[in-house]
Amino acid sequence: MSTKKVTKIGVLTSGGDAPGMNAAIRAVVRTAIYHGIEVYGIVRGYNGMVEGDIFKMDSKSVANIIQRGGTILKTARSAAFFEPEGRQKAYDNLKKFGINGLVIIGGDGSFKGAQKFSNEFDIPCIGLPGTIDKDIAGSDFTIGFDTAVNTAVEAIDKIRDTADAHDRLFVVEVMGRDAGYIALHSGIATGAENILIPETKTDIEELIASLTEKEKRKKLVNLVVVAEGDELGGANEIGAIMKTRLPNADIRICILGHIQRGGAPSCLDRLIASRMGFHAVECLIEGRNNVMVGIVNNKVHYTPLDNAVKAKQKISQDWFKIVKILAS
């Protein structure tokens, strides 16, 4: 806990963009202004800190953004921030503006950077989990996940229509380089036969056996949802194996790609972003540092940034049992 009064705060979005980041920025700006704290927008993540691309925000600067995807502050990955010289420059720029508190909206990489920075310099940092991947411990949801997963569901439903018309097997790739939550949630919600994710070892023989058995009993419409980071590869690689091993099946591949990042945030994402943004400012006022604001069991929950990064959420085996039983 810091006893220094926070008078000017900076807010930035960092790493991959996620729908709902704008709602979080809006909440941070308006809560700070409510408390008489000045707010500064930092452009393109840590790059804006390193380069001094910082501007003062007012209530109007966040008008009409709660419903918009992307981020008005832009986002980026910053190579310079990995280096001590880059972080020193970032600190000097914050000092120039008199900024003495930071809210970072991003994923685990952004939190690692924040943790380093707040340990090196006297600037308290509060993290908000903004990532479509949901791969952060200490929050039931991350900003952007609900929208992304609903976009995936909508797209897979459409694929199912055409798969059904032609009796086809579709291998659909969703985002998730290190985490399979989008695949797992969207796969169960669309009735996928199989879901392949990076957290579990994919048993290709079991997959082929189950699809061969379905082929025998003329269940020809099948959806296989694969996270892009599965250890056997994405839809192209999995599809290629299937085409060789299931020569009679009519197999198609679909990669959903970046549509999963865009679009208007869902109600849930707007809601959690607003709650988290509000509490981030309260955290700084209370003198907290190096924590992430999450929501657990619908209550606000603080997790040290270190734990949020290290402790991954665990996927229960029940989920896979559900997939198997329901897809039979």
Interaction between residue 112 and ligand ATP (CB under 6 A):
yes
Smallest separation, CB 119 to ligand ATP (Å): 11
Which C-beta is closer to ligand ATP: that of 108 or that of 193?
A: 108
Smallest separation, CB 114 to ligand ATP (Å): 8
**Which is nearest to 107 in space by CA: 67, 149, 138?**
138
Known catalytic residue: 269?
Answer: no
d(CA 295, CA 198): 25
Per-residue burial over 92-108, b if 16 or more Cβ lie within 10 Å, else e, is ebbeebebbbbbbbbbb
Distances (CA, A) of 162 to 29, 85, 138, 165, 323: 45, 54, 39, 5, 22
Q: Using CB under 6 A, which residues numbered 117 to 136 contact ligand ATP?
A: 131, 133
Bridge partners (DSSP) of residue 74 are none
Smallest separation, CB 162 to ligand ATP (Å): 31
Interaction between residue 93 and ligand ATP (CB under 6 A):
no
Interaction between residue 15 and ligand ATP (CB under 6 A):
yes
Catalytic member of 108, 133, 146, 269: 133
Site string for ligand ATP, 16-55 (x = CB under 6 A): x-----------------------------x---------
Interaction between residue 176 and ligand ATP (CB under 6 A):
no
**Pairing label, strands 38-42, 54-57:** antiparallel
CA dihedral 132, 133, 138, 140 (to 10 degrees): 70
The answer for 218, left when phi > 0, alpha when psi is -120 to 50, beta otherwise, is: left
Query: Segment near ligand ATP (CB under 6 A), from 62-70, 107-115, 155-163, 239-247?
Result: 107-115
Query: Segment near ligand ATP (CB under 6 A), from 66-74, 95-103, 105-113, 315-323?
Result: 105-113
Query: Segment near ligand ATP (CB under 6 A), from 54-62, 77-85, 206-214, 274-282?
Result: 77-85
The per-residue DSSP string of 255-297 comes to E-GGGGT-SPPPHHHHHHHHHHHHHHHHHHHHT--SEEEEEET
The answer for 281, left when phi > 0, alpha when psi is -120 to 50, beta otherwise, is: alpha
Interaction between residue 194 and ligand ATP (CB under 6 A):
no
The answer for 98, left when phi > 0, alpha when psi is -120 to 50, beta otherwise, is: left
Candidates 13, 14, 22, 190: give the one binding ligand ATP (CB under 6 A). Answer: 14
Query: Segment near ligand ATP (CB under 6 A), from 66-74, 100-108, 196-204, 285-293?
Result: 100-108
Q: Which residue is nearest to ligand ATP (CB)?
A: 109
Binding site for ligand ATP (CB under 6 A): 14-16, 46, 77-78, 81-82, 106-110, 112-113, 116, 131, 133
Catalytic center residues: 133
